[in-house]
Structure 1
């Protein structure tokens, strides 16, 4: 993950600078000579009337300075300092890097929506066995086996729709569930805060207790459990789903044996066996469960991708803005990730571009906040000039750090 994050940050640095200089040159708010990096120049090129020299350039924030080379020396001259140009031009140039990041994120999400399929859990698959609520979800009104038929009074298509960022950050969410033939409405408030406090999954599809793999020399292996076995009883308590098995196992006393009744299918018949198991630490028996969830591959047309890309990008942007506000207010912890429900697809390449798209939107927002090395401080000078019709006073120098 760390190499992907570093590569993502490097790409974002390049996207930001490319857009910043492209817009600055286009609007004529750029100097005639810039130097990027350290040491001697290795590369030289000219765009319109602006020349770039590149030395040892490391495309990571705070590792590669950029200087404007003038008769007065070497320092970065920012767009707001080009007083001979219109204030609107300087405003757009100041936000050129942030604009580039937003456009990059839209292109990334659009490309991902078009070139990579979504693997989703359909509504029918969710309701085949119903949902498995977490402990606190049960305290909120859910029970194991509830079948969700609507969210906020509307139909849905996939399980991902039930835990989307928009729902998680909403002040109130309403789920309509089918239970014992009757529809019941469950309203939740502050879902994001609850997720942050407890840290466990909210709801997830209910999965039958079928063994996929058995760990070698584990209690399950020693008892004779095999892949494909389905557990139907634990200590004479009927069970069907994984959560039921684990809950009963947690009730046992250390070193106490457990009787498992299993169904084992053979080519000719189905056998019912009772096996003695001595669970290990934390009641672990040493099996890997079969997820037994059918994922549906969903591919988008070009028109769908052109709509979904910007929609996903701005949903991510909205989610992170809301999350940031709640982090500042102390409602959410910084470690809480609200972009997770959008999903990071399988595969390192897809994951890299997803991370890059999300970070691009976060860093674009960063530039509008009063934080170190953000464009916010430059906008102050432009706002002062726009309101007072005078240049920003030298005695109130912004002392903006060099652009990295």
Structure 2
């Protein structure tokens, strides 16, 4: 027997999932029940975990408090399996009990985690706030610690810079499996940007090891593929992000990383009632190309999911999701930074910001994100963006426009609302 209201079930309360819950509450609170499941009881700014590792405090926001005010049900539980054919999810609550939760519309917002390859499982990560605090506690307990960070992506860079600024007596080594060089392709940096990052690392005393792929770790020593070794007091793996294995285990189509393959409206292939957003989804748009795992792509994808849900509830064709890259932010401690302006396809432009101006812009973007989630005040823009990126900013702004709504919504569940 059909329920009087359809249930929208959101798996994961990260940037994408929490933003989607707020949007769904705004647009569907009278016509649908909305449930969010997450294993944690609180939300914390993941893009600032390197600051936690350096001993800075970050606020934590209780899901129950956030969502109850939105009339969204919160279930603290670990999702154990997804049964898309039965439209059901199995989750284990904090008391150990298993429960089956059915749905009419499911949104996968399970995010990503660093998964250590064989031989490196003993390394710490920045997967959650608790691990970041463990890193800080260990740093405090060691005099002049030797810190090895394995992975020189954005997470590794920001962690290395933050720790080096906070602990100038520490010896920080950043192991890069490749070599940072100018790349005129998505995710790349311009020559000027790379020069600035390298100069910052040298100024902060960071030993940047290029072409150093870690293959084994034990007895406080990491072995690299070329046979060299590096001793450490503390080792942190900052690369190797992977989506939840629940997606592939559910029989949904995935790419080589395990991310859900989605249609242009963000629905999973073969399952129009199942959507995937954020790091766990393999999203590509005509205006941006493939989206990398990032907070920058998570919030707009949540808006895209709402547009699709509006269309589903109206029995209409869902619009195509669009996205445009505009810039990439790198923190270099609390008073320095790098802003790499990019094309809509994330290809670096010649324009960069550095120094305090970049640090203030990065902090502004982080605060904007918190404000977008309804957890803080909208900050004032510290600097006017370059004129040549305004078209990209305007294109992105359109992604945050309120989804259209018809005067009356009709669904297959047989109810209507004015």
Same fold (TM over 0.5): no
Structure 1 or 2: more helix by fraction:
1
Report the TM range for the smaller structure's normalisation.
under 0.3
Q: Which has the higher contact order (CA 8 A, sep 6+)?
A: 1
Larger Rg: 1
TM-score by length of 1: 0.22
